[in-house]
Amino acid sequence: MEGLLSKTNHEKLEYLLKNEPDIAFRNRVYFIVKELDVKPKDKILECGCGRGFHLNILRELSRATLYGIDINRKHLQIAKKQLAKKDVKIKYASVYALPFKDKFFDKVLLSEVLEHLEDEDKALQEIRRVLKPGGRLIITVPNESYPFLWDPINKTLEKVFNTHIKRGLFSGIWAYHVRLYGREQLKDVLQRNKFHVKTVVGSTYFCFPFAHNIVYDIGKTLLEKNTLPGFVVNSTHRFSYRKKKSALNPINWVLGTFSAINRLNKDKDFKTSVCLHAVATKNK
Structural domain contains residue 134: yes
**Angle at 73 (CA atoms; ends 136, 89), nearest 5 degrees:** 45
Find the domain containing 267 and state its range: 7-282
CATH number of the domain within which 42 lies: 3.40.50.150
176-205 pLDDT per residue, tens:
999 999 999 999 999 999 999 999 999 999
- The helices-and-strands tally (H runs, E runs) of the chain is 11, 7
106-136 pLDDT per residue, tens:
999 999 999 999 999 999 999 999 999 999 9
Structural domain contains residue 2: no
Structural domain tally of the chain?
A: 1
Choose among 92, 99, 206, 198: nearest CA to 146.
206
Structural domain contains residue 14: yes
Contact call for residues 129 and 45 (beta carbons, < 8 A) = no
Structural domain contains residue 161: yes
Structural domain contains residue 1: no
151-166 pLDDT per residue, tens:
999 999 999 999 999 8
User: What's the pLDDT at 16?
Assistant: 86
Query: pTM surpassing 0.85?
Result: yes
Structural domain contains residue 250: yes
